[in-house]
Amino acid sequence: MALDRWIALVLLGICVAYGYTAWFTMDDSLAPFMRRNPIWPSTFPKILSVLGIVASMIILLGLEKGEQKPGDIDYRRLGEYKVGQAVALLGLMVAYALCLRPVGFILSTALFLILGSVILGERKWHVMIPVAAVATFAVWYLVQEVLGIYMRPLPGVFGV
């Protein structure tokens, strides 16, 4: 069996367990007044489990397979792809998540955008730095001022 079908089989098992939990165990602990609501807390997990089961079954049965085009990813030639860049970006995302609170939103986001573009091959520093700065300040302003959600803009040592 191909790798995609093994992954689909594992996801099918997870979706079945998730669906069982959503359909049979989550609703038992609802308060009596919530049982008359049209949408319960388990509604979205039920929808997700059904969609996951359907998608996994489509892959397991091979219904998504068509003819392979030249641009499709072939797992047998995985070494020919830029796996190093993908792993570096994933590592950078983890580092960004860990540095968000202690370093502050503005510095960590700007560094994430600059380093991410360097990993992807951008070398125009005169473009990268202003774009990262503008994007960082725009997102911070929208979240902080427009939505009213406090995000520490600078590292904690500055007392902000």
* Average pLDDT for the chain: 84
The whole domain housing 52 covers 3-68
Same domain, 63 and 17: yes
Same domain, 94 and 124: yes
Residue 104, in any domain of the structure: yes
Same domain, 130 and 98: yes
Residue 147, in any domain of the structure: yes
Residues 6+ apart with CB under 8 A from 128: 113, 114, 117, 118, 122
For CA atoms 63, 68, 72, 77, give the dihedral sign.
positive
Q: How far, rounded to the nearest angstrom, does the alpha carbon of residue 38 sit from its chain's CA centroid?
A: 29
Rounded to two decimals, the pTM is 0.55
pLDDT tens for the chain, residues 1 to 160:
577 788 889 999 999 999 998 888 877 777 777 777 777 777 888 999 999 999 999 888 877 776 666 666 666 666 777 888 889 999 999 999 998 888 888 999 999 999 999 999 888 999 999 999 999 999 999 988 888 877 777 776 665 5
Residue 115, in any domain of the structure: yes
Burial class (CB in 10 A: 0-12, 13-18, 19+), 15: buried
Same domain, 53 and 116: no
Look at the chain and report how many structural domains it folds into: 2
